[in-house]
Amino acid sequence: MPKKLILIDGNAFMHRAYHALPKTLTLPDGTLVNALYGFSSFLIHMMEIEKPDYIAITFDHKAPTFRHLEFVSYKATRQKAPDDFYSQIPLIRDSLTALNVQQFSLPGYESDDLIGSIHEKFKSYEDLKFVIYTGDHDLMQLIDKNTEIAMPISGFKKINYIDEAKFQEKYGFPATKIIDYKALRGDSSDNIPGVKGIGEKTAVKLLQKFPNLEEIYLNINEVEPKISDKLKQSKENAYLSKKLATLCLDINLNIDLEDLKISQINTENLIKFFEKFQFKSLIARIKRISHYLSQKIDEKQTSMF
């Protein structure tokens, strides 16, 4: 039976937790902990339903990324989150340290790049399945026969799993072409420009005819004049957009798969951490999955002999 590696875009789920839970979730001194509680609740729920063998969580770094240096307007239209969101980030990171879950953040790179590089490092391993938890489409370029995307639909309870077949059915082209789609269509959420005047239908039609952006431009004479004119006028933006949309897959994180083993998780430390915040319901839930985690520890110890 294949082993399962769960990769989680930490930033996506911190934001989701912050906005999903009320600001009445505070400590006696008034400290807001809704994002901490929500993120922890999601993590426990994920372990309950997925029962992973390996897990890693990645986060954005506060330093500008190579994309910001390449394109000053990258993500420039995004609103800054409130201060009481940012004050909870160290608490969330501390909870993961207590749990002994591997977490990664590097200057110059986004959380998605780190996930892409971890995936690239281990995707050739036999009998290893990837489930990538995220809140947007950026990581869909990693979908393959052993990799699916898990996206929450409502809160954290319902998850939409997207594999190769589901992606093809929904978008009309393979997941590997999502970066070419963004090159043509752009992405307003990240302020990626794309080709001016090309919408969803035209982008899909082009990608159903040509394998990628480069082939579209090499065969521009085969494109109807009205569309080819737009492509010619925005050629520089198209290639820039593809570069911005493409994940960096060669970050050296200096890790082995064994470093990500779920058997290294320390529930006792996490329970002590939760006690400081009076998260009684989360303590009860983490105790419920302790049996599963104990089994993983037993498997690790058995495999050593």
Residue 295: per-residue pLDDT: 64
Closest CA to 142 of 61, 58, 42, 264: 58
C-alpha–C-alpha distance, residues 231 and 172, integer Å: 21
Note the pLDDT tens digit of each residue in 85-142.
999 999 999 999 999 999 999 999 999 999 999 999 999 998 999 999 998 889 999 9
- Predicted TM-score (pTM) of the model is 0.92
Structural domains for the chain? 3-169+248-303 (3.40.50.1010), 170-245 (1.10.150.20)
Residue 301: per-residue pLDDT: 44
Residue 21: per-residue pLDDT: 93
Instruction: Report the C-alpha dihedral over residues 298, 302, 304, 305, rounded to 10 degrees.
Output: 150
* Nearby residues of 295 by Cβ (< 8 Å), 6 or more positions away: none
Confirm if 164 and 171 have CB atoms less than 8 A apart.
no
DSSP state of 25: -
Residues in the chain with pLDDT < 50? Answer: 300-305
Residue 299: per-residue pLDDT: 56
3-class secondary structure, 272: helix
Residue 292: per-residue pLDDT: 66
Residue 78: per-residue pLDDT: 81
Residue 277: per-residue pLDDT: 93
Note the pLDDT tens digit of each residue in 201-221.
999 999 999 999 999 999 999
Phi, psi (deg, nearest 5) at residue 252? -85, 105
Residue 189: per-residue pLDDT: 87
